[in-house]
Each structure stands twice: as C-alpha cells, then as structure tokens.
C-alpha cells in the first residue's frame, strides 16, 4: 500500500490535567454562571483554564498554518505534557485549526473518543479553510492501492472537504453556485445572521480585506488606501446567496471571498461538545486556542457543586497571564482581542479584527471582549461582532440577546461587565478596575 500518512504532521500528546482541589465551593448554579454564592475565597489559586494559554500561537485565522510556528508550539506542548504526565492520561492536545487545541474528558477520556473528536475538529478545519494548500499538499501524490483501507477513506474525506467546503465557494466567486456540505451551509447561515444583527460590523465576506492585510502571515503590511478601498468594495454579506434546497452557496461577485475565521473555531467547539455529550460524557473542557467550552460541572457531589473557573487573559500581558476569573458550568467562554494576531509598525499596533467601514483594524478603545453563552459558535461570532461594534453598540446588541454575558476590557484598564456577571466575575489583577 502506498499511502502517505495524514497524521505525520500532527503530534498528539496525552497528559493528566492538574487540578487544584482546594477550590471554593458554590451553591446553586444557573444559566452557566453561579449567581448565588460568595465567590471570594480561593481566588489566590489559579483558574482551571484560561481563555488563552501560554503556548498558544496567535490564532484566529483558522485556515493559516505556519509550520515553522507549529513546530515551536508542538515542542512547548510536548514539554508541558511531559511535565504534567501522570498515571492516568487524560488531557489531549493537538495542533489544529491553526492553534493548540486541548481537550480533557476526565474519567470518560478513552482513546477512541478523543480520536473521534479530534477527527471531527480536523474535518471542520479542512472544510472551513480558505487556504486549502496545506491540506492539498498532504494528499498530492497519494496513490490509493487498497480502496477499502482506512487511509483511502481518509483520503476521500480530505478531498471531499476541500471540494465542498469554503475554499470551493471562494474559487467559484462570481462564476457559479457550489454544492457544499451541510455543515458549511449551517455555519455560513449563522455567520450571515450575525452579519445582519451587527449591521455588517461582523461580515463573513471580509476575506479580501483579511488577505490584503495578511496579519499574522509572512506578507503582513499596511496596504495603500486605494487597495483598502478596492478590497472593501468586495465586502458585503448581502452578496452571499444561499439556496437551501439545492444545498448551494454563491458569492455574487468575482474577487469576493468568505473568511469564517471569526466563527469556525466556535463551531468546532460545539461539534466537539456534541460528540462528547452523545458519548455520555458528564464533564469536560474543550479549549480550542482560547475558545473555551465547559461541559457539566467541575465536580458534583451530593451536597456540593464545584464550577469550572476560567481565567480571562490579561490583554496587556503575555499569554497565560489572567486578570480575572469567571466560574461557569455548561457554557462557552470566548474572547476576541487585539493581542491575538497583530503586527506593529511606527509604534502602532495593527491587529486582526478589521473594520468593514474603513478597512483598518478596529480602533475603539477596546482591548478585548469576552462572551459567555451556551453555544460556542454564537460566543465566537458575538465576540468578534461586539468587538467590531464597540462598547455602546455592542452592549446594546447583547442586551437584546438572552442568556449572554460579556466582559469588556478597555485600553485604560477599565473593565465593564454585563449585569449577569455582577458578583460572579472576579478581578484578580489590581491593575484592572470594574466600572459601573
Ligand atoms: P480568534 O479566532 O483569534 O479568537 P476572532 O474570533 O475575533 O479571533 O476572529 C478574528 C478573525 O476573523 C480574523 O483573523 C479574520 O479571519 C476574521 N475577521 C476579521 N475581521 C472580521 C470582521 N469584521 N468580521 C468577520 N470576521 C472578521
Ligand atoms: Mg470570534
């Protein structure tokens, strides 16, 4: 059999998550947040998870995989794993979606289930990518000798995701509708919904602008005004045509390009969670490069319930340094910020959330927006949408959406939170201050 291994670029490591048992106790919990107990003690101990982790490379552009950076990340990941290795391996990590994804299924963490979940995440990655080159390189030159083999099935799956995914829609922009997979239509429809809701501040057709700036890639630069104007001309979510019955998607004008980087990681998180739930997993944490989904409670005994404690990245410090902790259960915590992917020029920072109004990185005093809500897809879309809208409009949008909370961090270190987080979200770094 002459098959190249698809997994050669992927290093999977297993280790045990170190859990601090001295956590504080909580009372009754609702809507993913604990609203009753005083969550004061125990905040000297670090959180269980952080909305960003130290080994995470700048992420957000789902499709872009920099293999040089990938190698560096894997080395760090491996070191982390070795340091934490215990008798019962539980946490699994993999570099996928352009970032380090860490999943802990705790007592239900058997190998097969992890592999199913990571396989699905990789599939979402290939399906939603706008840079299929890396994946094409994996299958190019592959010769199928035994069509019934596992490798042949994987080959077909990779090929299928590339021909009926987002990259295929982009290739046919202005030419013809493309029959795509159901999951692509699902995510695209959600993206268009949030585009409408945010009046285009969040726009999945931002592709030409993202490519022009190339933030986080080797080609990043400040484009000329005319280039920005030309790219902006091609950004308009209203020009995406979806035909549900035919199962097709179409970009009306040539040169248009979808970029689902602001929502696909969230969708992958929901898919991972779905598979775990179906396998009757009661508690788990999915950390897809800082997009966190928490399943169940951290611990649930007869008389006590412990929630997960998620650390919120300090946007002014290095990765892994948190500025506050939010206790949650059964919910997603997703952050969009200026520190995710950026370059600096002339003392100014150019980050990866772009304004669909002026074509420049959004500059509105916000450093980050964290959204806490059930669905990871929604949290991901909203974190970008609300960041792009700015505090006033973003908050107004959130006020219209039930069971959704947010943490806004501004460049003067002031913090604003939505009502549901009052008394729940705790700042652990005195440099930050919650403003009423
Ligand atoms: P991350 O994925 O790093 O957590 P986000 O979810 O905020 O960050 O997504 C940022 C990514 O979304 C960018 O890298 C780009 O691919 C895309 N993007 C940038 N600006 C917009 C926008 N205004 N609307 C929709 N997507 C955007
Ligand atoms: Mg997002």
Confidence (pLDDT) at 51: 52
Per-residue pLDDT tens listing for the chain (436 residues): 333 333 333 333 332 222 222 222 222 233 467 543 323 234 456 777 665 432 222 222 222 233 344 445 555 555 555 444 444 458 999 999 989 999 999 988 899 999 999 999 999 999 998 877 777 777 777 777 788 887 787 788 888 878 889 999 999 999 999 999 999 999 999 999 999 999 999 999 999 999 999 998 999 999 999 999 999 999 999 999 999 999 999 999 999 999 999 999 999 999 999 999 999 999 999 999 889 999 999 988 878 889 999 999 999 998 889 999 999 999 999 999 998 889 999 999 999 999 999 999 999 999 999 999 999 999 999 999 999 999 999 999 999 999 999 999 999 999 999 999 999 999 999 999 999 8
Nearest ligand to the CA of 60 is 1
- Our answer on whether the CB atom of 354 is closer than 6 Å to any ligand 1 atom is yes
Confidence (pLDDT) at 80: 52
Cβ atoms within 10 Å, residue 193: 14
- Our answer on whether the CB atom of 368 is closer than 6 Å to any ligand 1 atom is no
Tell which one of 333, 352, 362 to mutate to probe ligand 1, the residue whose CB is within 8 A of the most ligand atoms: 352
Neighbour-count burial for 35-60, b at 16+ CB within 10 Å, e otherwise = eebebeeeeeeebbbbbbbebbbbbb
Confidence (pLDDT) at 310: 96
- Our answer on whether the CB atom of 336 is closer than 6 Å to any ligand 1 atom is yes
Confidence (pLDDT) at 60: 25
Point out the ligand 1 atom lying closest to the alpha carbon of residue 259: 16
Point out the ligand 1 atom lying closest to the alpha carbon of residue 58: 3
Measured CA to CA, the distance from residue 376 to residue 373 in angstroms comes to 7
* Residue having the nearest C-alpha atom to atom 4 of ligand 1: 60
Ligand 2 centroid vs 215 CA: distance in angstroms? 16
Tokens representing 325 are: 């902790």
Task: Give which of 328, 305, 324, 264 is closest to 59, Cα–Cα.
Answer: 264
Confidence (pLDDT) at 301: 80
Tokens representing 175 are: 């030419």
- Our answer on whether the CB atom of 59 is closer than 6 Å to any ligand 1 atom is yes
Nearest ligand to the CA of 358 is 1
Confidence (pLDDT) at 76: 53
Nearest ligand to the CA of 62 is 1
Q: Which residues are placed with Cβ below 5 angstroms of ligand 2, an ion?
A: 262, 336, 380, 383-384
* Residue having the nearest C-alpha atom to atom 3 of ligand 1: 60
Give helix 182-197 / helix 111-128 axis angle, nearest 10°. 60
Give the chain's domains with CATH numbers: 22-123+263-434 (3.10.520.10), 134-251 (1.10.3980.10)
Tell which one of 384, 389, 390 to mutate to probe ligand 1, the residue whose CB is within 8 A of the most ligand atoms: 384
Confidence (pLDDT) at 140: 74
Query: Which residue intervals of 92-206 are DSSP H helices?
Result: 111-128, 133-139, 150-163, 166-171, 182-197
Give helix 111-128 / helix 150-163 axis angle, nearest 10°. 30
Work out whether the CA dihedral 88, 91, 96, 100 comes out positive or negative: negative
Ligand 2 centroid vs 293 CA: distance in angstroms? 14
Confidence (pLDDT) at 119: 96
SS3 call for 123: helix
Bridge partners, 179 (sequence order): 248
């Amino acid at each position: 059999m002459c098959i190249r291994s698809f997994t050669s670029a992927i290093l999977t490591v297993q280790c045990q998550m170190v859990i601090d048992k001295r956590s504080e106790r909580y009372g009754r919990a609702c809507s993913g947040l604990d609203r009753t107990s005083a969550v004061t003690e125990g905040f000297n101990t670090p959180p269980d998870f952080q909305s960003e982790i130290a080994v995470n490379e700048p992420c957000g552009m789902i499709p872009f995989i920099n293999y040089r950076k990938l190698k560096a990340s894997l080395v760090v990941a491996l070191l982390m794993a070795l340091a934490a290795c215990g008798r019962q391996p539980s946490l699994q990590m993999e570099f996928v979606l352009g970032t380090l994804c860490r999943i802990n299924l705790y007592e239900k963490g058997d190998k097969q289930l992890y592999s199913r979940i990571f396989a699905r995440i990789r599939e979402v990655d290939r399906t939603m990518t706008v840079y299929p080159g890396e994946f094409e390189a994996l299958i190019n030159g592959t010769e199928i000798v035994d069509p019934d083999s596992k490798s042949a099935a994987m080959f077909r799956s990779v090929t299928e995701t590339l021909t009926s995914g987002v990259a295929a829609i982009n290739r046919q922009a202005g030419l013809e509708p493309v029959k795509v997979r159901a999951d692509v239509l699902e995510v695209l429809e959600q993206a268009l919904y949030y585009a409408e809701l945010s009046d285009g501040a969040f726009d999945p057709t931002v592709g030409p602008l993202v490519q022009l700036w190339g933030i986080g890639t080797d080609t990043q630069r400040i484009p000329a005004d005319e280039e920005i104007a030309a790219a902006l001309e091609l950004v308009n979510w209203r020009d995406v045509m979806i035909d549900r019955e035919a199962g097709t998607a179409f970009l009306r004008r040539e040169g248009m390009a979808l970029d689902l980087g602001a929502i696909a990681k969230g969708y992958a998180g929901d898919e991972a969670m779905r598979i775990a739930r179906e396998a009757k997993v009661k508690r788990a944490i999915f950390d897809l490069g800082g997009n966190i989904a928490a399943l169940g409670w951290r611990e649930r005994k007869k008389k006590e319930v412990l929630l997960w404690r998620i650390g919120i990245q300090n946007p002014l410090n290095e990765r892994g340094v948190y500025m506050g902790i939010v206790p949650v259960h059964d919910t997603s915590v997703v952050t969009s910020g200026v520190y995710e992917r950026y370059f600096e020029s002339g003392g100014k920072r150019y980050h990866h959330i772009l304004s669909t109004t002026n074509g420049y990185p959004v500059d509105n005093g916000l450093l980050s927006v964290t959204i806490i809500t059930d669905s990871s897809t929604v949290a991901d879309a909203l974190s970008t949408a609300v960041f792009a809208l700015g505090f006033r409009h973003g908050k107004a949008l959130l006020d219209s959406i039930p069971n959704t909370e947010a943490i806004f961090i501004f460049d003067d270190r002031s913090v604003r939170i939505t009502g549901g987080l009052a008394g729940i979200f705790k700042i652990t770094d005195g440099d930050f201050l919650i403003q009423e």
